[in-house]
Amino acid sequence: MMIKCSFCGMQFTEEQGHSACGSCPLSNCKLIKCPNCGYESIPEPASLSFFKNLFSKKKKT
Ligand SMILES: [Zn+2]
Protein backbone atom coordinates (compact mmCIF):
# COMPACT_ATOMS: atom_id res chain seq x y z
CA MET A 1 0.00 0.00 0.00
CA MET A 2 1.50 3.30 -1.12
CA ILE A 3 0.85 6.43 0.88
CA LYS A 4 1.18 9.94 -0.44
CA CYS A 5 2.12 12.60 2.05
CA SER A 6 -0.51 15.32 1.99
CA PHE A 7 2.08 17.82 3.17
CA CYS A 8 5.08 17.42 0.85
CA GLY A 9 3.61 15.01 -1.71
CA MET A 10 6.25 12.30 -1.25
CA GLN A 11 5.12 8.73 -1.90
CA PHE A 12 6.22 5.98 0.47
CA THR A 13 5.13 2.51 1.60
CA GLU A 14 3.09 1.85 4.72
CA GLU A 15 6.11 0.00 6.14
CA GLN A 16 8.36 3.01 5.67
CA GLY A 17 5.81 5.19 7.40
CA HIS A 18 5.65 2.90 10.41
CA SER A 19 9.43 2.65 10.81
CA ALA A 20 9.69 6.43 10.62
CA CYS A 21 7.37 6.55 13.64
CA GLY A 22 9.50 3.96 15.49
CA SER A 23 10.50 6.36 18.27
CA CYS A 24 6.86 6.98 19.13
CA PRO A 25 6.16 6.18 22.83
CA LEU A 26 2.87 4.54 21.89
CA SER A 27 3.69 0.98 20.85
CA ASN A 28 0.40 0.53 19.00
CA CYS A 29 0.54 3.91 17.29
CA LYS A 30 -1.51 3.75 14.08
CA LEU A 31 -0.11 6.89 12.56
CA ILE A 32 1.99 6.92 9.42
CA LYS A 33 4.91 9.29 9.45
CA CYS A 34 6.39 10.72 6.28
CA PRO A 35 10.11 9.80 6.11
CA ASN A 36 10.80 13.01 4.20
CA CYS A 37 9.20 15.77 6.29
CA GLY A 38 7.91 13.90 9.36
CA TYR A 39 4.27 14.80 8.78
CA GLU A 40 1.98 12.31 10.55
CA SER A 41 -1.18 11.05 8.89
CA ILE A 42 -3.83 8.41 9.53
CA PRO A 43 -3.47 5.58 6.96
CA GLU A 44 -7.19 4.80 6.50
CA PRO A 45 -9.76 7.43 5.48
CA ALA A 46 -12.36 5.43 7.44
CA SER A 47 -10.67 6.16 10.75
CA LEU A 48 -10.61 9.84 9.83
CA SER A 49 -14.40 9.94 9.50
CA PHE A 50 -14.60 8.02 12.79
CA PHE A 51 -12.73 10.80 14.55
CA LYS A 52 -14.82 13.42 12.77
CA ASN A 53 -18.01 11.76 14.03
CA LEU A 54 -16.55 11.57 17.51
CA PHE A 55 -15.73 15.27 17.61
CA SER A 56 -19.01 16.41 16.06
CA LYS A 57 -20.90 14.35 18.66
CA LYS A 58 -18.89 15.91 21.47
CA LYS A 59 -19.55 19.42 20.14
CA LYS A 60 -23.33 19.01 20.07
CA THR A 61 -23.75 17.51 23.53
ZN1 LIG B 1 5.95 14.65 3.84
Tell how far the Cα of 33 is from the centroid of ligand 1, in angstroms: 8
**What pLDDT shows up at residue 36?**
92
More confident residue, 9 or 47: 9
State CA 17 to chain mean position distance: 9
**What pLDDT shows up at residue 10?**
93
Other beta carbons within 10 Å of 3: 17
**What pLDDT shows up at residue 33?**
85
Among candidate residues 8, 3, 35, the one with its CA nearest the CA of residue 22: 35
Q: What is the pTM of this model?
A: 0.55
* Residue 1: pLDDT over 60: yes
Tell how far the Cα of 35 is from the centroid of ligand 1, in angstroms: 7
Report the C-alpha gap between 31 and 55 in whole angstroms: 18
State CA 18 to chain mean position distance: 10
Q: What is the pLDDT of residues 11-26, one digit of tens each?
A: 999 888 887 666 666 6
Tell how far the Cα of 32 is from the centroid of ligand 1, in angstroms: 10
Task: State the average pLDDT for the chain.
Answer: 75
